[in-house]
Amino acid sequence: VCVASYGRSDGNEILQLIPPPTLLTKETQGLCPERDFKVECGGFSERPIYSLKYVPDTSLLVTSGPPDSSLQVWQVSAEDSDVIKSVSSIATENGTEQSWAKIATISARAPWVLHGSRLDRVQITEVESRKNVYTAASGGSEELSGLAFLDCNTLLLCCATGRLCLVDIRQPQSLVDTMSVPLVPCSEQWCMGTRHGAQGLEPGSQPVARLSSRGLLTVTDLRKTSEFLALAKARVPSPGSGAEFLCVSWAPALEGCLAISGFDGTVHVYDTQSWDSSGREAEPIFIHKGHAFGGAGGSGDPPLVTVHTWHLQKPRTLLSAASDGSLHVWDWVQPCGKC
């Protein structure tokens, strides 16, 4: 597990952690005497790290963060060293862009990174050679909240306004708008989460979830964008000063389950299989409150969950991190047995 910090002025850490033994076994175990992560190797970044992605099938990490949209490439050290070292940086076409870049990685053909801060500045760069592989056609200058590889040829871009754009990199001028979001206040901000299906499935068969800063959740089938598969309102508090930590993700091993965070010190898990398009309030099947009870963060404010992700093999296990520097691994028991 790789983690990084973003708030320190004297250098931000980037660490690779060894999970506790209970996470490394396929079978569910009882109480395990060793429950802590151990630092395997680490390094320091002069800039805050807002996004961190592992490059599949390599020993490389890619990070992004202020003050601009450039990327930093890191080498996770060999067995005889405990240092994560910076090996290169990837500049963008517009080096003066102030917004930090959203990133996604893939290694289907070669180690690639998809990155950009605005819709008209999306690029694919080969990580090791830093060669530009693709630049998206101009589709406006809207700020991006997320982007993803659906496969090695298909990209999905999400604007902060909730607008989705589907891109085929084999067609240089391809930029297809998909379904817009419901009518909401202009100040509403959105993020997205994609669910990667089994091998051989069409990219469009992967459902896309979008989450707004007001807690509105939509589920869209990219093959039929004329209607929502589901529309619901999450039971979350009103957003604070910003929506920079909004996160929605699909469970890889549970059909129809997703998790959301970024509103407070909790992570909510929902089962979307019973949702319709009415937009009514949805009942979470589980709420993780561990971070909320962990104490105040460095600013004295209650901890805010900054990101979460699902364990790839353990169906109900998630990892979450918060603004107080805490990293939790947790799961839940579903009495009804639906999930």
Q: What is the pLDDT of residue 243?
A: 76
pLDDT digits (tens, 9 = 90+) for 239-280: 555 678 999 999 999 999 999 999 999 999 999 999 998 889
Average pLDDT of every residue of the chain: 85
Return d(Cα 208, Cα 220) in angstroms, integer: 5
Residue 315 — pLDDT band, cuts 50, 70, 90?
very high
Report residue 339 as tokens. Answer: 């999930």
Angle CA(178)–CA(181)–CA(186) in degrees, nearest 5? 125
pLDDT digits (tens, 9 = 90+) for 204-222: 567 899 999 999 999 998 8
Residues forming beta bridges with residue 88, ordered by sequence position: 73
Q: Which two tokens stand for residue 267?
A: 């992570």
Q: What is the pTM of this model?
A: 0.89
Q: Which residue has the higher pLDDT, 299 or 281?
A: 281
The two structure tokens encoding residue 178: 């998909």
CA distances from 176 to 4, 45, 157, 219 (A): 34, 37, 10, 18
Query: pLDDT-derived band of residue 339, with 50, 70 and 90 as boundaries?
Result: very low
Contact 211, 191 (CB under 8 A): yes
Tokens matching residue 52: 């961190």
- Which residue, 299, 281, 105, 308, is CA-closest to 193? 308
Region 87-111 average pLDDT? 84
Q: How confident is the model at residue 123 (pLDDT cuts 50, 70, 90)?
A: very high
Q: Which of the pair, 12 or 11, is modelled with greater confidence?
A: 12
Contact at 8 Å (CB) between 179 and 187?
no
What gap in Å lies between CA 209 and CA 232, rounded to an integer?
Answer: 11
* pLDDT tens digits along 177-188: 666 676 666 678
Q: Report which secondary-structure segment, H or E, holds 54.
A: strand 51-54
